[in-house]
Amino acid sequence: MTEKLILASGSQYRKALLENAGIDMEAVPAHVDERAVEATLEGSGLTPDDVAVVLAEAKADEVSGRKRGALVLGCDQTLSLGEDVLHKPADMEAARRQLLRMSGKTHSLNSALVLMRDGEALWRHVSVANLTMRDLSPTFIGRYLAAVGDKALTSVGAYQIEGRGIQLFEKIDGDYFTIVGLPLLPLLAELRRMGAIDG
């Protein structure tokens, strides 16, 4: 027995990853104000992993309320640099400052998944990848941002590892799917365990 999965996201990239893996799915974007959810967590002492899970669960819960009986997948990713959680840059100047701040340092991408049915979380998971940027000169950052344009504003780190962003790094510890925000191997294992996909 297999079951259609509802992806609580408008991300064409996540949708393509699931489709390429042969998952019967439908994408239904969640209507969640991520910054408002994060604001309620200020001072809570939650780790970046925890924040990613809370956001993924909020998305799954919102869509689960509209898709009764369906198996819903919520996803989110946070970027942590030391104790700080960074967000998608608002504009190119913010992207420039963020890349300067991450230059020569290691940051973590915390990718959370939550499977939910009828408002009940059935499974939660976080995978972490650690990425070390090489030392980047301000002039290189300027050229990089000019080359990628507004794509820099669509991801939490101002880069896409699957594109020109790979040039920013000297070392990566973690799997590709965690880095792009959908840890597929643990998800597939859980879907098989649940009988939602052919195992």
9 φ, ψ to 5°?
-160, 150
Q: Which residue has the tokens 């297999």?
A: 2
Instruction: Give CA 49 to chain center in angstroms.
Output: 11
Instruction: Give CA 152 to chain center in angstroms.
Output: 15
DSSP β-bridge partners for residue 173: 130
Helix (H, G, I), strand (E, B) or coil at 45: coil
Report the C-alpha gap between 192 and 189 in whole angstroms. Answer: 5
Is 50 designated active site? no
Q: Count Cβ atoms below 10 Å from residue 35 Cβ, excluding itself.
A: 9
Helix (H, G, I), strand (E, B) or coil at 182: coil
Report the C-alpha gap between 173 and 68 in whole angstroms. Answer: 39
Q: Which residue in 33, 76, 173, 198 is the catalytic one?
A: 76
Pairing of strands 84-86, 120-133: unpaired
Q: Which residue has the tokens 């859980």?
A: 190
Catalytic residues: 76
